[in-house]
Chain A
């Protein structure tokens, strides 16, 4: 008689995955809905639709953040030559995920994805797969506790070489601004000189968006806290902000367009270098 495989939750495999809660709306699945994806439950679509009614601009925001991510990663992998990425708050796979953009520029890029949602992790592990030359790893962890993230990421990333830290649309999950700042500082402190921080977050620059977020907080989803552009800029303190600074993500080094400058969106972001 042969012994059978250890259960999914045996110690060698980490803790067992909690079940997916289909009754509570989840930000990753709602974003997937706004981006036109099919990986969402009725409860996510319902909340996403209600949000859209109050603040239709969220679709431009969702797309704008994806394009911002793609431009920033292309710049970092292409122009700067960064080969390591730590992407916290991965979200459900969409087009042009971090490793796809980076490995298109340089197939040897190494990417660590971090999320704490079982559905996101299952999708990331199955679909966000690396080139043969590079590597992708997936960490089940919460940004509130950076220590384990950094420890696990060290299995894939070499922290003596520059790392691009990606924090897109995640810090709003932390209600306390000072706590969010200190988490960013902890993460950046672990990176060597020549590393980069790419960060974007929802801004309180529109009454409609603020109202949509206020209602969203009552749906049972983890509330998302909007911050002022100044507060978002504050996350980059101590770092060297690249041009054009912290701006609506659509306006961060936009690709040339025959239709003039891109529209304003109520999500601000930037890229900074650690000296």
Chain B
């Protein structure tokens, strides 16, 4: 409850200071309103009537799919018997926050539609679990590595747009530097560390960056060696877990030109389970620094060519 109140005390969804983005505010408010409605024994249809909408609109609101009008929140709280006090103020503030511009708004032109919800949710997570097969996880990339990945992908090759997208990637990483950061638990396939994305110099800097990152208390890296048994994970997986008990885990599966979100526990469980299997088969976190140094030395030792490049 403290956290909800804390979110409500701020406005907007700036990343980097521990606040929920608007997506999470919507989800939270929706979940709370559903609980209040059910506790009051009121049907979706009856609730919809009060805000001049259908029962299915109430469904969408409660699922956090659409934003809330302040007046609708007021009317629903009246109907559910939340007449005053801190609870009402918190929920009203959440409603206001859910309409605030997202932190990534400045990058709107370059944010692919499918990534918007993920960017809104990520800063609210207390635990981010990832599995990456081909690339370094987005939250741990250097700027040059990000640029190299972006050049490989679809989308604008225009230099300004690329720079902007790299800027977005850097902004996204700020959550790891805030005072109360989420924990990142990343399983990275050995292939992602060996594949020379952007060339040896970029990879050298990237691996050094990872070696620094694992020193942080809240960053855990496990490397999945080529030789280890493999979960049938297919592609990369991200799982977000939120501190509020009422919010289900969100699984995000990024593909070439789209992203898939799973929020129903029946759908997310297989990915949670795959992440568990990967974590038990990958090398333990304590081994990460030496593995990263080994790959750095084996694959990316500075050559004459690299040195003259500088």
The chain A residues found within 8 Å of chain B, CB to CB, are 2, 4-9, 13, 17, 19-20, 22, 36, 38, 41-42, 118-119, 121-123, 125-127, 129-132, 138
Contacts and interface: CB of A to CB of B under 8 A. Distances in A.
Given A38-B241, A38-B249, A5 B277 contact: no
Contacts of A41: 269, 273
Interface in B67-110: none
A129 B284 CA distance: 12
A7 B220 contact: no
A131 B217 CA distance: 7
Given A4-B190, A8-B229, A130-B217, 18 more contacts: A2-B298, A2-B299, A4-B225, A5-B291, A7-B227, A8-B225, A8-B281, A8-B282, A13-B283, A13-B287, A20-B273, A119-B280, A122-B279, A125-B285, A126-B220, A126-B222, A126-B279, A127-B185
Interface residues of B, number: 35
A5 B222 contact: no
A6 B298 contact: no
Interface in B14-35: none
Contact of A118 (B222, B245, B280): B280
B223 interface: yes
Contacts of B294: 5
A204 B287 CA distance: 44
Interface of B is mostly: mixed
Interface string B284-310: 111100010010001100000000000
Contacts of B287: 13
Contacts of B281: 8, 17
A36 B183 contact: no
B212 interface: no
Given A125-B284, A127-B185, A8 B228 contact: yes
29 contacts: A4-B225, A4-B227, A5-B223, A5-B226, A5-B227, A5-B283, A6-B225, A7-B228, A8-B225, A8-B228, A13-B283, A20-B273, A20-B277, A22-B273, A38-B241, A38-B249, A41-B269, A118-B280, A119-B276, A119-B280, A123-B279, A125-B284, A125-B286, A126-B185, A126-B220, A127-B183, A127-B220, A130-B217, A132-B217
Contacts of B291: 5
A38 B220 CA distance: 20
Contacts of A132: 217
B185 A4 contact: no
Query: Ordered nearest first, which 5 A-B pairs have the shortest CB separation?
Result: A7-B227, A5-B225, A122-B279, A2-B298, A17-B280
A4 B280 contact: no
A10 to B, nearest CB: 8
Contacts of B277: 19-20
A138 B285 CA distance: 11
Given A5-B226, A8-B283, A122 B276 contact: yes
Contacts of B127: 127
A9 B279 CA distance: 13
A37 B115 CA distance: 28
A13 B190 CA distance: 17
A17 to B, nearest CB: 4
The interface centre, meaning the residue of A6, A118, A122 with most chain B CB atoms within 10 A of its CB, is: A122
Nearest to A119: B276
Contacts of A119: 276, 280
A4 B225 CA distance: 8
Contacts of A13: 283-284, 287
Interface in B163-192: 183, 185, 190
Nearest to B215: A132
Nearest to A19: B277
Contacts of A17: 280-281
Interface string B134-162: 00000000000000000000000000000
Contacts of B241: 38
B218 to A, nearest CB: 8
A8 B189 CA distance: 13
A171 to B, nearest CB: 26
Contacts of A38: 241, 248-249, 272
A36 B246 CA distance: 10
A5 B299 contact: no
Nearest to B190: A5
Contacts of A20: 273, 276-277, 280
A118 B279 CA distance: 9
A122 B220 CA distance: 11
A121 B285 CA distance: 11
B280 A19 contact: yes
A36 B227 contact: no
Contacts of A118: 280
Contacts of B280: 17, 19-20, 118-119, 121-122
The interface centre, meaning the residue of A38, A127, A131 with most chain B CB atoms within 10 A of its CB, is: A38
A80 to B, nearest CB: 26
B215 to A, nearest CB: 9
B180 to A, nearest CB: 14
Contacts of A127: 127, 183, 185, 220
B282 A129 contact: no
A125 B288 CA distance: 12
B94 to A, nearest CB: 22
